[in-house]
Structure 1
Amino acid sequence: MSKDLRGALVGFCNPLLDISAVVDDELLSKYNLKANDAILASPEHVPLFQTLIDSYDAKFLPGGAGQNTLRGAQLLLPADSAVFMGAVGKDENAERLKGAAERAGLRTNYMVNPEKPTGTCALLITGPNRSMVANLSAAETYQFAHTQKPESWDIIEKAQIYYITGFFFTVSPETIEAVAKHSLENNKTFTMNISAPFVPPVYKDLVEKTLPYIDVLFGNETEAEALAGAFGIESTDIKVIAKKVADMPKNGSKPRLVVFTQGDKNTVVATSNSDEIRVYAVTPVPSSEIGDTNGAGDAFVAAFLAQYIQDKSIDTCVQAGHWLGGEVVRQIGPNYPEGELKFVASEDFAPTVEKL
């Protein structure tokens, strides 16, 4: 008998409409942006969004890291497996986001704020790099009261796995805490993504408060280094950082799993109940086939969680993540390939196992 996955995966993040354009380094310099980074918009960045629309070949794409991840996971799972929560405005952009979710079969439970426009994210593409500038707007008005509504809490109670991005620390730490505690008390699985290098230093107290609840933590190499810096881990070795984070204090009996990706370089996995570090080689996508790298990390987590929730091995979860990440970098923006998505595991995929 197959596992019942209806409503099994629930995610929280900031739903945003992406405004994506290929730009030059001069535009990055003008707005003091790095080629591969994610930040929140400050007043100096406000004109950037209109500049992309007026002066570049801008494309509007459904975005927001968490919704991208849940959308990808749902494409790989049985119908009605995933539900996404966040805040949007009452406008055309919200309808665009909802439409993209519906096309993937992803159920949404938005809090609608009619006083604010739906959030947007500028995606500045330079070669294989992307710089993200998020103007949260309605997304940052998400209220814990929405989580507490009977229809929302019913969704949370029925879930088996929770996925929340670090971006949500900027919006509703109360929701993160409530979901984390519910997960622990009911022996479910609570997962998070560091999401951006600014999260660990700026929200250190909240990260420290939440870490004991986290069963699976995702991040990339720059986010891992930022986490290490915030918590006094004196190493730039991703394997060392992964193991030290895995061994940080944790609630409950489940071991903590830490998964750090490094683009086209190795993915590193560490757990708190083993001194082994698992290192997975990535098959690089030929440069001639790369559209842009935006959304690759979200896609990795999407495929990882889609396998994890079906009780597949960690090796299979990582292999699926590499596969879907590779498919997404061949697209422009955080888009998944058209047609049916189906992952087929390879039996010869295996990590190198190291001990620190």
Structure 2
Amino acid sequence: MYDVVAIGNALVDTEFTLSDAALAATNLVRGNMTLADADAQAALFATLSKQGITPAKQAGGGSAANSMFAFASLGGSAFYNCRVGGDDMGDFYLADLANAGVATDADFAVSVDGITGSCAVLVSPDGERTMQTHLGTSSQISAENVKFDTLAQAKWLYLEGYLAMSPSVMPALAELHKQARQAGAKIAVSFADPAVVKFAKDGLLAMLERGVDAVFCNFEEANLFAEADGAADPVNALLKYSELVVITNSDKPTTIACRGERGIESHQVASQPVAQVIDTNGAGDNYAGAFLYGLSQGLDLVSCGNLAARVAAAVVAQFGPRLDPACYQTIKNHA
């Protein structure tokens, strides 16, 4: 039995620190994710190398995987559906998840002839992350990579917004939604990146219009979503689709809104102070994973937000999208 079953793109992150001028020279959209083919990804790595910009860190990534890493490290039981290649990076990726207690099944996840996806994470001096992603074999994730029986007795199904950009996975998402409802599991969707709302709104709506119980997004994503729908208030725009909406806003308070029998319950939960922001990569993913862990343990919404804020603050204070598993326990035990 798993507390949460998730599905997302499997990517190995390679992080670089660079100047604003060097970032501008890449022509990538600051703070957003851009999809690239293998040639474009190789060209970016070559360009950075020629400028003497070397990797600061390599780690397992992917939005939902980061969330599950946090969830499991805090003490929850998580299963992750994904697609990796039969290569060294694929082995590294699955082993990294196992190290945090996130369950996977190589019989479903490994595409023997595939190439594991990669993400170049460019970190500006202010800690903002800009990404270029080559999905590799993850772009072909489909029902054959999903272990549906893990939903039996699961509390939550967690869907990553980036999957809205992968047409091959849409039938599997529909089936996951159906089986989650049959199993009595709640469903959460993370928007993951402004680019998802900008360029894959139809796919995102396909996830939401079936009905979900929680949406995680940031302030920019929420506003992009609301503007596209012609709505002035992003909270109400999102509450049309979800019982619970969690909107993070960098170092500003997080908005938590929930539909209930007595109307809309709303809270503003403060962020945690950070002496220096090093790297925002994975902050939102970890926030969602920690918040979902709190929900799975029966915590009230404000307590979930406070735990998530503490985890996210620790993530942005270091390089990489994940903490050491023991760090999550330390944060939880020193509330």
Aligned to 2:104, what secondary structure does the other structure show?
Answer: strand
Residues 1:324 and 2:311 are matched in the alignment: yes
Cα deviation code 1:101-137 (max 9, x no counterpart) = 1211111135222332100000001122110111101
Match of 1:96 among 87, 92, 97: 92
Q: Distance in 2 between matches of 1:186 and 1:140?
A: 28
Residues 1:209 and 2:206 are matched in the alignment: yes
Give 1:291's aligned amino acid: I
Q: Distance in 1 between matches of 2:294 and 2:265?
A: 22
TM value normalised by structure 2: 0.90
In the alignment, what sits opposite 2:264? Answer: 275
Summarize the alignment of residues 46-85 of structure 1 with structure 2, pairs less than 5 Å apart.
Answer: 46-52=42-48, 55-58=52-55, 59-78=57-76, 81-85=77-81
Cα deviation code 1:26-56 (max 9, x no counterpart) = 3322221133122212565541134345632
In the alignment, what sits opposite 1:262? Answer: 249
In the alignment, what sits opposite 1:116? Answer: 114
Give 1:66's aligned amino acid: A
Cα deviation code 1:163-193 (max 9, x no counterpart) = 1111112221112211112222333100010
Residues 1:285 and 2:271 are matched in the alignment: no
Q: How has the CA–CA distance of structure 1 residues 207 and 181 changed in structure 2, closer, same or farther, with 3 Å as cutoff?
A: same
Q: Distance in 1 between matches of 2:145 and 2:284?
A: 28
Q: How has the CA–CA distance of structure 1 residues 51 and 116 changed in structure 2, closer, same or farther, with 3 Å as cutoff?
A: farther
In the alignment, what sits opposite 1:170? Answer: 165
Do the aligned residues in 2 keep the contact of 1:320 with 1:345 (CA within 8 Å)? Answer: no
Q: Distance in 1 between matches of 2:207 and 2:114?
A: 29
Residues 1:181 and 2:178 are matched in the alignment: yes
In the alignment, what sits opposite 1:353? Answer: none
Q: How has the CA–CA distance of structure 1 residues 35 and 211 changed in structure 2, closer, same or farther, with 3 Å as cutoff?
A: same
Q: Distance in 1 between matches of 2:130 and 2:327?
A: 30
Give 1:311's aligned amino acid: G
In the alignment, what sits opposite 1:132? Answer: 131
Give the paired residue count: 322
In the alignment, what sits opposite 2:290? Answer: 303
In the alignment, what sits opposite 1:241? Answer: 234
Q: Give the structure, 1 or 2, with the largest relative contact order (CA under 8 Å, sep 6 or more).
A: 2
Q: Distance in 1 between matches of 2:289 and 2:219?
A: 18
Range moving further from structure 2, 51-60 or 97-106 = 51-60
Deviation at 1:340, TM superposition (A): 5.0
Range moving further from structure 2, 219-228 or 110-119 = 110-119
Deviation at 1:316, TM superposition (A): 1.1
Give 2:54's aligned amino acid: D
Greater fraction helix: 2
Give 2:11's aligned amino acid: L
Cα deviation code 1:58-109 (max 9, x no counterpart) = 021111111111011101115xx11111110011111111121121111113
Give 1:241's aligned amino acid: P
In the alignment, what sits opposite 1:8? Answer: 3
Give 1:9's aligned amino acid: V
Q: Distance in 1 between matches of 2:177 and 2:95?
A: 29
Q: How has the CA–CA distance of structure 1 residues 201 and 230 changed in structure 2, closer, same or farther, with 3 Å as cutoff?
A: farther
Residues 1:155 and 2:142 are matched in the alignment: no
Cα deviation code 1:191-216 (max 9, x no counterpart) = 01011112224322332232132110
Residues 1:191 and 2:184 are matched in the alignment: no
Give 1:36's aligned amino acid: G
User: Which blocks of at least 5 consecutive residues in structure 1 are unaligned?
Assistant: 1-5, 251-255, 347-356
In the alignment, what sits opposite 2:34? Answer: 39
Q: Distance in 1 between matches of 2:320 and 2:303?
A: 26
Do the aligned residues in 2 keep the contact of 1:41 with 1:133 (CA within 8 Å)? Answer: yes
Q: Distance in 1 between matches of 2:13 and 2:48?
A: 11
Deviation at 1:227, TM superposition (A): 1.0
Give 1:89's aligned amino acid: G
TM value normalised by structure 1: 0.85
Q: Distance in 2 between matches of 1:7 and 1:206?
A: 27
Percent of paired sites with the same residue: 26
Q: Distance in 2 between matches of 1:270 and 1:243?
A: 9
Residues 1:18 and 2:19 are matched in the alignment: no
Q: Distance in 2 between matches of 1:209 and 1:292?
A: 32
Q: Distance in 2 between matches of 1:210 and 1:335?
A: 26
Cα deviation code 1:226-253 (max 9, x no counterpart) = 21122222x3xxxx3112311x156xxx
